[in-house]
Structure 1
Amino acid sequence: MSNALALLNNYGGDSSDEEVPGPKVSTKRTFKEDEDCNYSKKRLPVPQQFLQSKSLEHQDDPSLHAGRVRSFAHERGNWATFVHIPYEAQCGVVELFSHIEETVPKHLELKIADDFHISLTKTVILKYHWISAFVKSLQENLKHFRKFFILFDSVKVYCNEERTRTFLGIQIRSGRDTLVKMVETLDICLKEYDLPTFYKDPSFHMSIAWCVGDVEKELQNYLPQINDKLEQLMEIHSQDNWYIYVDYLLCKTGNKYFQFVLS
């Protein structure tokens, strides 16, 4: 790829209402007659339900997204953004989740992760008009990083800052030095926009399962069984299941993905 920055995907989502005209789209009037009309125009009354709807604010409904609670309120023009390393699910990881599902009590309602990845930033709020400059800053600062490998290690329990969700994640046992340097670089980009930086002394991991609420202590009880199973699966399945060859990073902002290819 000649350009390290590539727009991968664009699909419908909460932020899609901020579209701007394309380069060939004119927002000027098409017909000159619009300017020359001298007859009086009567405005039709606005239906009452539309007048009422203007005063309504967006209400977050956790039931629409598996009970998850937003870390920040939805607001027009705000794009949830984070940088991460993607991982394409392999048989070994899927089988590990199946074992976890059988081991952990049903009342916890454990769910498989929506997508597998290793986060390199927190999820931050990016204003729509910042996106282009922010992505260019990422491109410029990440261009010197080289491709590398990440090897998986054992499973650990994590909880988010708000203590509203608990996760089971696979820790890493190689590649940490490079990840730390990447985080330091990304923190510089975030500080340019007064955005929160990543965790100090981060525990890099790939979340594979989650549930609503703070059940960290309860899940800790099942780690020995889960890690015993992980060791068995590492013997059964090829090593391709247990590492990531990192040749690019992704930045997800709203409903868009930007790719940064490593050298």
Structure 2
Amino acid sequence: MALVQYSDSEAESGSGSESESAHEPLQQPAKKRRLEHRSPTLPPLPAAFHDLYASSTRVSIRDDPNLHGGRKRAIPHVEGNWPTHIYLEWYPSKNDFIKLDQVVTRLEDNSEGNIAIHSLLQSDLGAQLPLHISLSRPVVLQTEQRTPFLATFQHFLQDSNIAAFDVTVEGLDWVSNYEKTRWFLVLRVCKHEKDYLNTLLRLSNSSLAHFGQPPLYGSPHQHGEAKKRQTGPSGGQAKAMDEQQAIQDFSRSFHISLAWCLTEPSPEDKRRAAKADLRALEDLSIRFCSVKAKIGNHVTSLQI
């Protein structure tokens, strides 16, 4: 199943890697650095601090895959366009980070064909990175759409009955983005008892549909309906579209990406991921208290 091209794949977050020379072809990267597992000596930074530094520094005025581990930008830089992403963010604890890192390391060490697996858990300098559950595709808003979109989404969120909630995880899988230019090692998320993830997805899709943007995990037909809604459908049409979306269950699509590669994993690598021993993650519980809306380099945290 093809999944969304994440915001970090657009070189908007800190998961990109820089080659030694911007003018030389990217070489096969060595095994990623292993973080020294030492007990933390300082208290964690407040959550709002991370929003201030949610984007990496641009190192080129043009799109150059050599600067980003061979990745190609799906949304080109255009003046007046604002890459936008709605998501739930998670900073694993040190113990959870160690467990996740061990899972990625085992699959990397046992992979066939010597594929280069890039961890999303930490940067090339060993700094821990946030993980996320996507609630939208990477879409593009025009300058004049930024404020009304954020107001629309915030209004929908405030009118919902969603409260802070916890999710658990189950199983690993390899999935591709829509363009099949990258493959992601993902951790599947269990369905919440109150189905909050599907509700949040519906709110995000509905908000973006008002601005002609396609839904996440939706069909081309739904994108056509979104375009119609942008021109101003009747209240009855909008309600019918929302009701149609409400009955769809995308619980099997929600996931957290742990690593990526440019080459499609072999059938054996996919089987090995599906059979991976995840007993160390049985007690993992992830709490979400806010939804993040990233428009350009600005991140807005909306409490739930």
Instruction: State the TM-score, normalized to the length of structure 2.
Output: 0.62
Aligned to 1:24: none
Using the alignment, how far apart are the partners of 1:115 and 1:106 within structure 2? 29
- Pick the aligned partner of 2:156 from 141, 146, 150: 141
Helix, strand or coil for the counterpart of 1:108?
Answer: coil
Q: Which runs of 5+ in 1 are unaligned?
A: 1-6, 16-57
Shift of 1:76: 1.6
Give the conservation status (yes or no) of the 8 Å contact 1:12–1:255. yes
Match of 2:256 in 1: 206
CA contact (8 A) 2:112 2:266 kept: no
Question: Aligned partner of 2:148: which letter?
Answer: A
Could you tell which deviates more after superposition, 141-150 or 160-169? 141-150
Structure 1 residue 190 and structure 2 residue 208: aligned?
yes
Deviation at 1:107, TM superposition (A): 2.8
Counterpart in the other structure of 1:100: 107
- Identity, in percent, stands at 25
Instruction: Quote the offset at 1:246 in angstroms.
Output: 1.3
Shift of 1:121: 0.6
C-alpha RMSD of matched pairs (Å)? 2.6
Contact 1:166/1:216 (8 A) holds in 2? no
Equivalenced residue count is 208
167, 170, 175: which one pairs with 1:158? 175
Please report the TM-score for the alignment, with normalisation by the length of structure 1. Answer: 0.71
- 1:12-31 matched pairs, under 5 angstroms: none
CA offsets 1:160-218 (integer angstroms, 9 cap, x no match):
01000001101011327211111111111101110111113531000001001433645
Higher RCO, 1 vs 2 (CA within 8 Å, ≥6 residues apart): 1
After superposition, give the CA deviation of every residue in 1:63-91 in whole Å (9 maximum; x if it has no partner): 11111111122212212111111111323
Deviates more, 1:63-72 or 1:98-107: 98-107
Q: Distance in 2 between matches of 1:136 and 1:196?
A: 19
The answer on whether the counterparts of 2:173 and 2:274 sit within 8 Å (CA) in structure 1 is no
In the TM superposition, 1:80-119 aligns within 5 A as 80-89=83-92, 90=96, 91-105=98-112, 107-113=114-120, 115-119=130-134
- What is the DSSP-based 3-state SS (H/G/I as helix, E as strand, rest coil) of the residue aligned with 2:168? strand
Report what 1:9 is aligned to: 52
Gaps of 5+ in 2: 1-49, 121-128, 219-248
1:220-259 → structure 2 map (5 Å cutoff):
220-225=270-275, 227-228=276-277, 230-231=278-279, 233-234=280-281, 239=283, 242-259=284-301
More strand by share: 1
Secondary structure of the corresponding residue to residue 153 of structure 1: strand
Change (3 A) 1:11 1:102: closer
Aligned to 2:73: 70
Change (3 A) 1:210 1:112: same
Distance 1:184 1:250 in 2: 15
Q: Is this contact kept in 2: 1:10–1:257, CA < 8 A?
A: no
Distance 2:182 2:52 in 1: 28
Q: Distance in 2 between matches of 1:216 and 1:82?
A: 30
Q: Please name the residue that 2:189 is paired with.
A: 172
Aligned to 2:33: none
Match of 1:43 in 2: none
Distance 1:170 1:216 in 2: 18
User: How many angstroms does 1:224 deviate by?
Assistant: 4.6
| Alpha-carbon distance between aligned partners in 1 of 2:199 and 2:288, rounded to the nearest angstrom | 14
- Read off the aligned partner of 2:106 and give its amino acid letter: H
